[in-house]
Structure 1
Amino acid sequence: MEELNYNIEKYFDKDAHIWDQFLQQNTVNGTFLQSRNFLEYHPKGRFVDYSYIVYDKKGHIAAVCPACLIVNENQRMLISHQGSTFGGIIFGGKYYCEHKIIEIIKCLEEFWKCEKINGVELRITPDLFSQENCAALEYGLYYCGYQDYVEVSTYIDYKYYENDILRNFEQGKRTNVHNCLKAGLVLRELNTDEQIAEFYQILCENLQKFGSTPVHTLTELLEFNNSRLTEECGFYGIYDEEKMLAGAMMFYFANVKVAHTQYLCALQSYYTLSPMTFLYYEMIREMREKGYEKISFGISTEQYGKKLNFGLTKSKEAFGGKHTLNRTYWKELI
């Protein structure tokens, strides 16, 4: 291996501008989810931010690594930033070739060892949200001794989707949609705080069945909609006249033309009408009309991919969904 050509520095608040500028202009696998604008909606103290910036010898940013530190029983673990769904090491385009990827990984590891980091876990950006596929990074991590676990995610690629949306659905889903259309259900975009609060109430009731709560608070969702992520998120509701029966929160990854269903929910009292099926139908239609090339429905796995929700996966497949893998890499350092 040639002499290491990179300098590693820890991220500080003063670096926010150059970090976000790098993400917006130069990366192959960066999204708004790794921007400081997004990560820093979390209140101070929720996480221990332990992010890094990789500079080349000329002082240009080659990569960034949004990360957090977790200390447990004297073990110092570095993990992909807890404020984002995925991230790992985000590379600039001119540095996304195998020998540079491997060299940057090795440089980071040497720095982490000096920081007494015992182990690393990196949730890399999936192919679906990257401007280039992740094969070079995946091999680089494998070459450097990382192990991985995988989670299965479902999406639709409109390029392989029939124009008549219902022709892609299984018969049961088609029947559900026809029944909702006959009942007069309609899709509306949610713009006001009151509408989003109503959506959030339905979401909380849905998750309560599973002993869970939303990742985001209502206050955070309102901040996304009103100021922080005005171009990157949207809210929608399925209505029976003036009553909201189902709702969705979407994330927009405009740089790769992918829309992602962050939250989907429906009133359980209207289960027999299946407004959730109609919500899927309308979001598939709406995102295609907005010019997106793919729509993502997220993962259907738990416990590091070892547990598959067969019912959820089957339901997504019934809309014509196909599968891709989300990978997380880990390694013990010291």
Structure 2
Amino acid sequence: MKVTRYTKADAEQWDAFVRASKNGTFLLQRAYMDYHSDRFADHSLIFHDDKGHPVALLPANERDGVLQSHGGLTYGGIICDESMTTPRMLEVFDVLLEHLRTNGLNRLLYKTIPYIYHLNPAEEDRYALFRADARLYRRDVLSVICQDRRLPFQKRRARKVSQAQKLGLVIEASEDLEAFWAILEANLAAVHGVRPVHSVEEMRLLNSRFPDQIRLHVCKENGGIVAGVVVFNATRVAHVQYISSSERGREIGALDLLFATLIERDYADQAYFDFGISNEQEGKVMNVGLIEQKEGFGARAVTHDYYELSVV
């Protein structure tokens, strides 16, 4: 087995492998990964068998002597297809670690792909990390609804949904990212003093590249947006990327009605509905109020693990 660095000439082969993989999603295709290529020094890797066929990919970037799997993505460890076996994954990691040594990289930061995104079991990398004495340094908790075993809404959430239904609110898909971003940016600045990870221009670009996977859903009152959710619809998982509500929306339970509609109607056929994380500081601090809201819709915990491996 050998490994080569990704180049733009490999884009078509890379994307074809991701589409045929057992754990890849559209976020791991180059049209998504490369939108912020100016911010990351790409060091993605392609692993080949003895006949030169690709057997695995690692989306990654290099920073200060560290290889990150990839710092600009929500998830993204080793991408593989159904031919991947545990012994072969151990070979992949042997080749990976040798590549790091050869290229003067002294550390690997590795984020796994949560199992809910797997079409078939794909945790061979976790075993390889264990064998290599990797250290678990971060654990996020995702709040996830299993759609075919959906739990009932908490009474408080159900009551808020019922109240909002009586107000004649409209739930629909929207292309008005600018109006929603104004609400989102104001809320993030007021509560956390930060801006969204994506600018509205970046989200517009990504939406144009993946119109079927990235969608804004809004709740409207009298034609105006009072709440919205950006959903990344990836293979089996509808993942909530951004959530925000105006002051009026909070008063009338607009998000409760919006989430109920997405869960029970728009994404009912997906295997999972993922609200995302409610923790900070690498998983060590929990926003209890936020996770209680998500779990009020019947979501339960799925962990997302991050590992560190020193190369000697």
- Report the residue type matching 2:166 in the other structure: K
- TM-score, reference length from structure 2: 0.95
CA distance in 1, matches of 2:124, 2:99: 22
Gap change, CA 1:155 and 1:35, over 3 Å in 2: same
Cα distance, 1:323 vs. partner? 1.0
CA distance in 1, matches of 2:283, 2:303: 10
Say yes or no: does 1:114 pair with 2:102: yes
Q: Which runs of 5+ in 2 are unaligned?
A: none
Structure 2 counterpart of 1:38: 32
- Report the residue type matching 2:245 in the other structure: A
Q: Is the 8 A contact 1:102 1:144 kept in 2?
A: no
- TM-score, reference length from structure 1: 0.89
Q: Is the 8 A contact 1:154 1:296 kept in 2?
A: yes
Say yes or no: does 1:13 pair with 2:8: yes
Which deviates the most, 46-55 or 272-281?
272-281
CA distance in 2, matches of 1:152, 1:215: 19
Q: Is the 8 A contact 2:6 2:44 kept in 1?
A: yes
Q: 1:136-177: per-residue Cα shift (whole Å, max 9, x none)?
A: 321121011111131111111111126xxxxx1111111111
Say yes or no: does 1:249 pair with 2:230: yes
Structure 1 counterpart of 2:79: 90
Which of 109, 114, 127 in structure 2 is aligned with 1:126? Answer: 114
Structure 1 counterpart of 2:238: 259
Which of 234, 258, 262 in structure 2 is aligned with 1:279? Answer: 258
Moved over 6 A (4+): none
Which of 61, 76, 100 in structure 1 is aligned with 2:54? Answer: 61
SS of alignment partner, residue 178 of structure 1: helix
Q: Which runs of 5+ in 1 are unaligned?
A: 1-5, 163-167
SS of alignment partner, residue 106 of structure 1: helix
Q: Give the length in aligned residue pairs.
A: 310
Structure 2 counterpart of 1:325: 303
Cα distance, 1:14 vs. partner? 1.0
Gap change, CA 1:190 and 1:205, over 3 Å in 2: same
Q: Is the 8 A contact 2:206 2:214 kept in 1?
A: yes
Q: Is the 8 A contact 1:28 1:130 kept in 2?
A: yes
The within-5 A match list for 1:131-142 is 131-142=119-130
Cα distance, 1:83 vs. partner? 2.5
CA distance in 2, matches of 1:110, 1:224: 35
CA distance in 2, matches of 1:228, 1:198: 20
CA distance in 1, matches of 2:38, 2:241: 25
Say yes or no: does 1:238 pair with 2:232: no
Say yes or no: does 1:190 pair with 2:190: no
RMSD of aligned C-alpha atoms?
Answer: 1.4
Same amino acid, percent of matched pairs: 29
CA distance in 2, matches of 1:125, 1:181: 37
Structure 2 counterpart of 1:179: 163
Gap change, CA 1:288 and 1:92, over 3 Å in 2: closer
